[in-house]
Amino acid sequence: MTLRGISSGAGEWLRGSGPHSDVVISSRIRFARNLAGFPFVNRANRRQRYEVLESCRAQIMTNRLADNTLWVQLADSPAIDRQLLVERHLISRDLARHKADIPRAVAIGADETFAIMVNEEDHLRIQVLRSGMQLSEAYDQINRIDDILEEKLDYAFSKRFGYLTACPTNVGTGVRVSVMMHLPALKLTGEIEKVKRAARDMHLAVRGLFGEGSEALGDLYQISNQTTLGRTEKEKLADFEKSVIPQIIAYEHQARQALLRQREKQLDDKVWRAWATLTHARVLGTDETLQLLSHVRLGVHTARLERVDIRTVNELLLLCQPAHLQKVTGQEMTPAARRIARADLIRQRLAPRG
């Protein structure tokens, strides 16, 4: 598998399938791990960083873990490839940043359900990403990966504090559960603020499309846990699966129903204006496109708009982003040229077939 290969379609997590996929885009779990006997990445010297990278590579690339795993050295890769991986949620923005002195890499599973970052803030950041509401499945997968890596790698661990991490906010289980949700009706009705407040009271973080510090473009929100110490992985997971996420899903469904009952014409107007713009505009920016796609997605899920399938909409959420757009069109472009290419691509993908 190559980077070229993975950019042609949407990753597993955007397939628009999986339970509750009308509201839940993806389920993600990540484990933070460090190797015993080494300083954390921020304090390791060059030789130690290389040694960590090499030890991890050797263990990750065994076939016991998965066949056809792609290993990408990020220090050597062009900026556009790194950006592509960020857009696909396979690496963090931090790992993508150019830091010549930190040898770092990511291992990507052939189906893109897992990605293992080496030498990010912690030596290892393992993540599993799946479409729709599939936290249990994601947990089983990541737990298995973790077990296989641990057969040869000595993790830094203490009985008192659990898995030791560079930042004390991750110590303990080292587990971050993160569910990406599409909440357009809560946004349109203004109820989203209540959700955010409630989430904060439950010690959950509500973030945008690209995590920390990013805006909720396209009405996409990531809900994730803030605490990692004092409760087991299973307890945290159960919170999300049985309580937090089902409540937010129900709330979004209620808001959609309320819109249909009370503001049907306004809802239709939003959906069809979005459709009209996307199918006719000649110049489109990323943020605007994501917002329009959000309204189209809402239209599809409320059966107001039947000219497009959800898979196409989800794919466009990804392809309209700068690095993907340039990969698809096969050329590097200025932002101004991208806006034109983006509009072209979208018109083409949304044109009636046959």
Say whether residue 50 binds other proteins (CB under 8 A). no
Smallest distance, other proteins to C-beta of residue 59, A: 11
**φ and ψ of 32, to 5 deg:** -100, 130
Closer by beta carbon to other proteins, 143 or else 189: 143
Site pattern 289..318 for other proteins (x: CB under 8 A):
------------------------------
Say whether residue 233 binds other proteins (CB under 8 A). yes
| Among the listed residues 226, 257, 266, 331, the single contact to other proteins using CB under 8 A | 226
| Among the listed residues 173, 289, 312, 326, the single contact to other proteins using CB under 8 A | 173
Say whether residue 283 binds other proteins (CB under 8 A). no
Which positions ≥6 away from 131 have C-beta within 8 Å?
Answer: 12, 13, 14, 15, 16, 17, 18, 21, 25, 26, 27
Residue with tokens 């309204």: 295
Report the Cα 95 to chain-centroid distance in Å: 14
Asked if 94 contacts 120 with a C-beta cutoff of 8 angstroms, the reply is yes
Angle, alpha carbons 139-142-147 (nearest 5°): 120
Site pattern 193..212 for other proteins (x: CB under 8 A):
-------x--x-x-------
Say whether residue 150 binds other proteins (CB under 8 A). yes
Say whether residue 159 binds other proteins (CB under 8 A). yes
Say whether residue 64 binds other proteins (CB under 8 A). no
Say whether residue 243 binds other proteins (CB under 8 A). no
Say whether residue 101 binds other proteins (CB under 8 A). no
Rounded to an integer, what distance in angstroms lies between the CA atom of residue 42 and that of residue 34?
A: 12
Burial (Cβ within 10 Å: 0-12, 13-18, ≥19) of residue 147: exposed
Scored b (16 or more CB within 10 A) or e, 253-265 reads eebbeebeeeeee
Please count the residues of the chain. 354
Closer by beta carbon to other proteins, 45 or else 68: 45
- Applying CB under 8 A, which residues contact other proteins? 34, 36-40, 42-43, 45, 47-48, 121, 143, 146-147, 150-152, 154-164, 166-169, 171-173, 175, 200, 203, 205, 226-234
